[in-house]
């Protein structure tokens, strides 16, 4: 009996972990108490948990992403603190390993991914003039599967132990022999469950974009963000199945010693590396392409001009997506694959710089003859351009395979990928967040605070990451929890720690801004506070749950339908209001996801009876669904007219 | 607005200054002591110059656009035009990166063949073969020709090509001596080859650069390049003083943990040979043999 409970204990407890455990437990109790006290359970269930509304699902992704940004950020600061001085004893080796592994997984899969999925959900249907996504209930299921995967990963910290083999989880290190806690089991199963959700999202949005565009919206009239979303979701559908297979094989290695990747009996450790990066490299484009889409929207809006070179922009997206599958071995140039293979992948990798460069020049020329207003989102974009270029050119350096022998596995690499991912992905998300905030919540974030945040963030960023390029070239390897005084790395690492501290201040400023603006910002901002260009601004604020009372018709417009309507008087809404068909909410998907969570947890600890019970639960849910008849419901014409009248009275724009 | 632009410029200039200061200090990778590292350092400097040029160009265009076309400088009724693009601009936009990439591709391919082969100036003699294998968290260096094995330190003759044969008794590790040349992985199921050479006698450090668990940070070793005569003396010294490496002793050494420097006569290759059925393309004959025996 005690043995049964012993397996759930954390193998390397420390004061920090106990404090975290206590705060998590107290926090959860407080949350449950508050929800119960204000009698919010029913509201949460009806309005959020069971919702099929793409906007609300989007906001749930957003909240998850923001929470995970802070969780991953705390890990980052802990790492920088540990490395701030040589021979530091703040974290021991095992703890540091768990922290960087968790930081990597959380940031990429549970922060950046839900953040872009938030944009897919919130924006795509609005930009293409649709009422919802193609499969609304699948959308809800995708969210909950993702959420359960995220939850499963996060409890590893307090139940059984965190993974410690890096976010790349290379075998044989990740096998039972060398990673003895259940941490890597969590990694395998949590990513599997969340990944299923992502794959569903991919299928859903491809279908939505191909099938549900407003009349007149040809592919080459789609707004740039929708294009980037389409391409990113296509990459998802091609890349995620590879992850699914790799994780399934890895899980079997860990639970049943199958030795696909382990040492001996024909196990191939490099097979894991190949499968991981065949997914992993496209994955970074899944993140960055939508970020490019967001920047395109922001830059054209605040340059007050159409996007320069729309067509070349689209083609560069397409070319990048194809190439993203042809470069994965640049992650292991040093694996002894020989000069010929390295040459091929060196060239394909550098080739990606060409379409990426095209995009940078397109953004620059969008400013040409514009009328540039620097708002907070625009300031993010303007910082993004030079910082991301710096990250991009160091990527080209890494692509020179022979020279990469000297950069691989060093802080130079860490500096490079943060240099693309923070100004690229994180800035885009925060720019998009600020840009679309009024559309979501009906008030603006404070501009002064917002701009100050960007400056503090960039300052902290430069201070935090530029030193890593230098220590990398001086021989500081990555993932090392300590270094000696004699190495001479200490000054720059201290600078880097200070930079990380300044960056954390900027994130606190963001939180403060949300709170401050919630309290103080005016609510009568109309529906188009930025004087924007896309269809998403053509509906009311707050957005009615049917999005558009009349489906917009963009036959006579360019890719900036709303701008054309404002400037040239193109008519967007033709025809009469009619009955609107909407899908019903459903709680089944949530219940199904809970079974996935329990099943995943059971497998982590090899509790096969419980795993089989949850499998039966999953099959039962699916069986029930397949027998069910649900045709949704209609909002009647009169009701829509009533809602629309109310908006018109309140002065919403159209 | 004006202050902000200055801020950007200043931070970038500061950044440049830090970088330059760093270079003067002779960063390990930019302070090569052998032909392979020299090639990598040359490539690195070439890239730093070229890439700084690109970053500065982008920055200059950006600053120009922001100054010239900001709203506060324009009349309120100015309406920006609708511009689709221009074939000439777009040709330049694609053409210049294409040229840069083609140029770098040539450099890259050439460097690949250089670092993957015996260093060019050293082709006249047979390289000295050293097997470097890692175990949690140590390095075992076997000199089959000399009949010697060391733990956690390397003596090599300067002015002679060394052919390292890398593999691992455990997780993937990466063998790296920054001043002599870039790293390569050591894996459990195959042997990889790394060619290095030290131009002159000297002392360097090496490490496992690939994360392999709790002890990775301390997984380091010392490298000393000696003259050929000193090296030969050291070899005969070892034969006179060191104990032979037995199988039991070696199994003991493989136990996870850190060890100081150790020296033995004989090598573990005799009773625990390297996994030399090569997947490496540098040894195609062996692969062929493998196939014929199936
Ligand atoms: C807030 C600023 C951040 C700081 C100060 C920071 C710092 C660090 C540090 C110190 C490491 C470990 C380096 C090592 O020892 O190998 C690391 C690794 C990593 N970071 Fe960050 N990070 C930040 C934000 C982010 C973001 C936003 C992302 C992704 C969206 C990210 C993704 C990663 C990944 C994937 C790794 C590799 C983990 C591994 O080696 O397994 N980081 N970061
Ligand atoms: Cu990649």
ipTM of the complex: 0.91
Residues with Cβ within 8 Å of A262's Cβ and at least 6 positions away in sequence, in order, are A171, A172, A175, A177, A253, A269
CB A597 less than 6 A from any atom of ligand 1? no
d(CA A460, CA A80): 13
Which residues, in sequence order, are bridge partners of residue B203? B224
Closest approach atom of ligand 1 to CA A287 = 30
Residue B26 banded pLDDT, cuts 50, 70, 90: confident
Are B273 and B169 contacting, i.e. CB atoms less than 8 angstroms apart? Answer: no
d(CA A414, CA A79): 13
* B182/A408 touch (CB, cutoff 8 Å), yes or no: yes
Taking only Cα atoms into account, the Rg of chain B, rounded to an integer number of angstroms, comes to 26
* B183/A408 touch (CB, cutoff 8 Å), yes or no: yes
Interior angle at CA A528, CA A527 and CA A533, nearest 5: 135
* A342/B112 touch (CB, cutoff 8 Å), yes or no: yes
Give the closest-approach CA distance of B215 to chain A in angstroms: 7
Are A118 and A63 contacting, i.e. CB atoms less than 8 angstroms apart? Answer: no
In chain A, DSSP finds a helix count (H) and a strand count (E) of 22, 2
Closest approach atom of ligand 1 to CA A96 = 15
Closest approach atom of ligand 1 to CA A496 = 5
The pLDDT > 90 percentage for chain B reads 73
Residue B283 has pLDDT above 80, yes or no: no
Q: Where are the alpha helices (DSSP H) in chain B?
A: 2-24, 35-68, 87-115, 228-241, 247-254, 284-292
Query: Taking the mean position of all CA atoms in its chain, how far away is CA B271?
Result: 31
CB A70 less than 6 A from any atom of ligand 1? no
Q: Where are the alpha helices (DSSP H) in A264-334?
A: 269-303, 310-323
Give the closest-approach CA distance of B149 to chain A in angstroms: 24
CA dihedral A343, A345, A347, A350 (to 10 degrees): -140
What's the gap in Å between A234 CA and the centre of ligand 1? 27
Top pLDDT among B241 and B18 is at B241
- Name the residue of chain B whose CA is nearest to A93's CA: B214
DSSP A219-279: GGGS-HHHHHHHHHHHHHHHHHHHHHHHHHHHHHHHHH---SSSSSTT--HHHHHHHHHHH
Phi, psi values for residue B182, rounded to 5°? -70, 170
Are B215 and B197 contacting, i.e. CB atoms less than 8 angstroms apart? Answer: no
Residue B282 has pLDDT above 60, yes or no: no
The predicted-structure confidence for B193-231, as pLDDT tens digits, reads as follows: 999 999 999 999 999 999 999 999 999 999 999 999 999
CB A418 less than 6 A from any atom of ligand 1? yes
Residue A470 has its nearest CB partner, among B7, B27, B279, at B27
- Name the residue of chain B whose CA is nearest to A355's CA: B94
Are A214 and A624 contacting, i.e. CB atoms less than 8 angstroms apart? Answer: no
Q: Where are the alpha helices (DSSP H) in A400-531?
A: 401-407, 411-420, 427-441, 447-473, 490-520
Residue B167, SS3 per DSSP: strand
DSSP A93-162: HHHHHHHHHHHHHIIIIIIIHHHHHHHHHHHHHHHTT-SS-S-HHHHHHHHHHHHHHHHHHHHTTTTT--
d(CA A489, CA A420): 23
Which CA distances in Å does A450 have to A303, A431, A434, A506, A536?
Answer: 19, 10, 8, 10, 23
**Which residues are near ligand 2, the ion (C-beta closer than 5 Å)?**
A 281
Which residues, in sequence order, are bridge partners of residue B149? B142, B264
pLDDT, mean over chain B: 87
Which residues, in sequence order, are bridge partners of residue B132? B141, B166
Q: Where are the alpha helices (DSSP H) in A521-652?
A: 561-568, 588-604, 608-627, 637-650
The ranges of chain A with pLDDT < 70 are 1, 649-654
Ligand nearest to the CA of A325: 2
Give the per-residue pLDDT at A22.
87
What's the gap in Å between B180 CA and the centre of ligand 2? 26
CB A81 less than 6 A from any atom of ligand 1? no
Exposure string over A328-349, b if 16+ CB within 10 A, otherwise e: bbbbbbbbbbbbebbbbbbbbb
Which residues, in sequence order, are bridge partners of residue B141? B132, B150
Residues with Cβ within 8 Å of B149's Cβ and at least 6 positions away in sequence, in order, are B140, B141, B142, B143, B245, B263, B264, B265, B266, B267, B268
Phi, psi values for residue B85, rounded to 5°? 150, 175
Cis preceding linkage at A542, omega within 30: yes
Would the CA dihedral through A237, A238, A241, A242 be positive or negative? negative
Give the per-residue pLDDT at B288.
40
Ligand nearest to the CA of A496: 1
d(CA B156, CA B284): 28
Are A122 and A205 contacting, i.e. CB atoms less than 8 angstroms apart? Answer: no
d(CA A625, CA A638): 32
The backbone region for A547, taken as left when phi is positive above 0, alpha when psi lies in -120 to 50, beta otherwise, is: left
Residue B112 has its nearest CB partner, among A335, A390, A401, at A401
CB A416 less than 6 A from any atom of ligand 1? no
Residue B285 banded pLDDT, cuts 50, 70, 90: very low
Chain A residues closer than 8 Å to B94 by CB: 312, 354, 358
- Name the residue of chain A whose CA is nearest to B57's CA: A386
Which CA distances in Å does B281 have to A43, A339, A499, B163, B288?
Answer: 64, 9, 45, 16, 11
* B178/A475 touch (CB, cutoff 8 Å), yes or no: yes
CB-based burial label for A149 (10 Å; 0-12, 13-18, 19+): buried
Top pLDDT among A178 and B4 is at A178
d(CA B210, CA B219): 10
Among candidate residues B34, B38, B283, the one with its CA nearest the CA of residue B160: B34
CB A479 less than 6 A from any atom of ligand 1? yes
Section B12-29 average pLDDT: 64
Residues with Cβ within 8 Å of A399's Cβ and at least 6 positions away in sequence, in order, are A330, A346, A349, A350, A353, B108
How many other CB atoms sit within 10 Å of the CB of residue B282? Answer: 14
Phi, psi values for residue A117, rounded to 5°? -70, -30
Residue B71 has pLDDT above 80, yes or no: yes
pTM for this model (two decimals): 0.93
Residue B183 has its nearest CB partner, among A334, A369, A393, at A334
Closest approach atom of ligand 1 to CA A504 = 1
């Amino acid at each position: 009996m005690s043995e049964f409970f012993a397996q759930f204990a954390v193998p390397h407890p420390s004061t920090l972990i106990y404090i975290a455990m206590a705060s998590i437990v107290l926090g959860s109790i407080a949350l449950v108490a508050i929800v119960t006290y204000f009698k919010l359970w029913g509201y949460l269930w009806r309005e959020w948990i069971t919702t099929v509304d793409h906007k609300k699902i989007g906001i749930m992704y957003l909240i998850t992403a923001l929470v995970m940004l802070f969780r991953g950020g705390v890990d980052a600061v802990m790492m920088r603190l540990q490395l701030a001085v040589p021979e530091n004893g703040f974290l021991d080796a095992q703890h540091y390993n768990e922290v960087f592994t968790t930081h990597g997984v959380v940031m990429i899969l549970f922060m950046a991914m839900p953040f872009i999925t938030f944009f897919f959900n919130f924006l795509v249907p609005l930009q293409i003039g649709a009422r919802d996504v193609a499969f609304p209930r699948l959308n809800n299921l995708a969210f909950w599967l993702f959420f359960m995967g995220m939850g499963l990963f996060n409890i590893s910290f307090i139940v059984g132990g965190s993974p410690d083999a890096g976010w790349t989880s290379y075998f044989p290190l990740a096998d039972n022999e060398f990673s003895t806690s259940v941490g890597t089991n969590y990694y395998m199963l949590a990513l599997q469950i969340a990944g299923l959700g992502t794959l569903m999202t991919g299928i859903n949005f491809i279908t939505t974009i191909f099938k549900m565009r407003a009349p007149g919206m040809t592919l080459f009239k789609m707004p740039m963000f929708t294009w980037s979303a389409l391409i990113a979701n296509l990459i998802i559908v091609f890349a995620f199945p590879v992850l699914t297979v790799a994780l399934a094989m890895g899980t079997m290695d860990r639970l049943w010693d199958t030795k696909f990747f382990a040492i001996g009996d024909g196990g191939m450790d490099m097979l894991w590396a190949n499968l991981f990066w065949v997914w992993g490299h496209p994955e970074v484009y899944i993140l960055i392409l939508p970020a490019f889409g967001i920047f395109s929207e922001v830059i054209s809006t605040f340059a007050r001009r159409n996007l320069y070179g729309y067509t070349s922009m689209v083609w560069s997206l397409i070319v990048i997506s194809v190439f993203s599958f042809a470069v994965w071995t640049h992650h292991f140039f040093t694996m002894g694959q020989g000069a010929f293979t390295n040459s091929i992948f060196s060239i394909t990798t550098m080739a990606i710089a060409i379409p990426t460069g095209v995009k940078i020049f397109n953004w620059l020329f969008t400013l040409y003859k514009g009328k540039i207003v620097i708002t907070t989102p625009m300031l993010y974009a303007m910082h993004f351009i030079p910082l991301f270029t710096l990250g991009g050119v160091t990527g080209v350096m890494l692509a020179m395979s022979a020279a990469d022998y000297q950069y691989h596995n060093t802080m130079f690499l860490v500096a490079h990928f943060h240099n693309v991912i923070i100004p690229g992905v994180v800035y885009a998300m925060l720019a998009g967040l600020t840009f679309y905030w009024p559309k979501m919540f009906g008030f603006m974030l404070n501009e002064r605070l917002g701009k100050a945040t960007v400056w503090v963030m960039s300052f902290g960023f430069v201070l935090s990451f530029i030193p890593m390029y230098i220590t990398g070239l001086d021989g500081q390897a990555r993932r090392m929890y300590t270094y000696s005084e004699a190495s001479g790395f200490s000054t720059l690492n201290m600078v880097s720690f200070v930079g990380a501290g300044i960056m954390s201040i900027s994130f606190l400023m963001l939180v403060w801004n949300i709170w401050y603006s919630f309290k103080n910002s005016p609510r009568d901002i109309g529906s188009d506070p930025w004087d924007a260009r896309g269809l998403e601004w053509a509906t009311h604020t707050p957005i009615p749950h049917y999005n558009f009372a009349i489906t917009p018709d963009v036959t006579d417009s360019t890719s900036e339908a709303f701008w054309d309507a404002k400037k040239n008087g193109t008519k967007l809404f033709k025809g009469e209001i009619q009955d609107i068909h909407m899908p019903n909410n459903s709680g089944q998907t949530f219940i199904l996801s809970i079974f996935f969570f329990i099943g995943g947890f059971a497998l982590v600890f090899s509790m096969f009876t419980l795993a089989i019970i949850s499998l039966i639960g999953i099959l039962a849910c699916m069986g029930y669904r397949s027998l069910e008849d649900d045709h949704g419901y209609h909002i009647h014409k009169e009701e829509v007219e009533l809602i629309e009248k109310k908006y018109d009275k309140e002065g919403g724009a159209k | 607005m004006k202050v902000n632009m200055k801020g950007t410029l200043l931070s970038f200039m500061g950044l440049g200054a830090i970088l330059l200061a760093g270079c003067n200090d002779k960063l390990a990778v930019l302070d090569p002591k052998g032909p392979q590292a020299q090639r990598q350092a040359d490539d690195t400097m070439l890239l730093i110059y070229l890439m700084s040029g690109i970053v500065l160009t982008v920055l200059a265009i950006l600053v120009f656009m922001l100054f010239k076309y900001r709203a506060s400088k324009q009349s309120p009724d100015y309406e920006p035009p609708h511009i689709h693009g221009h074939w000439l601009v777009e040709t330049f936009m694609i053409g210049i990166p294409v040229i840069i990439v083609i140029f770098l591709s040539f450099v890259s391919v050439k460097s690949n063949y250089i670092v993957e082969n015996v260093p060019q100036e050293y082709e006249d003699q047979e390289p000295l073969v050293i097997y470097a294998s890692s175990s949690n968290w140590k390095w075992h260096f076997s000199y089959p020709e000399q009949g010697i094995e060391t733990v956690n330190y390397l003596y090599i003759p300067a002015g002679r090509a060394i052919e390292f044969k890398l593999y691992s008794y455990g997780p993937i590790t990466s063998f790296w001596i920054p001043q002599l040349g870039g790293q390569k992985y050591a894996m459990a199921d195959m042997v990889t080859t790394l060619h290095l050479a030290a131009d002159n006698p000297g002392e360097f450090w090496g490490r496992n650069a690939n994360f392999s668990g709790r002890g990775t940070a301390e997984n380091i070793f010392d490298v000393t390049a000696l003259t050929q005569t000193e090296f030969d003396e050291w070899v005969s010294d070892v034969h006179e003083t060191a104990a032979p490496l037995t199988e039991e002793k070696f199994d003991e050494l493989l136990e996870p943990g850190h060890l100081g420097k150790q020296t033995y006569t004989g090598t573990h290759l005799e009773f625990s040979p390297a996994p030399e059925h090569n997947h490496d393309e540098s040894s195609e004959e062996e692969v062929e043999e493998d196939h014929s025996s199936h």
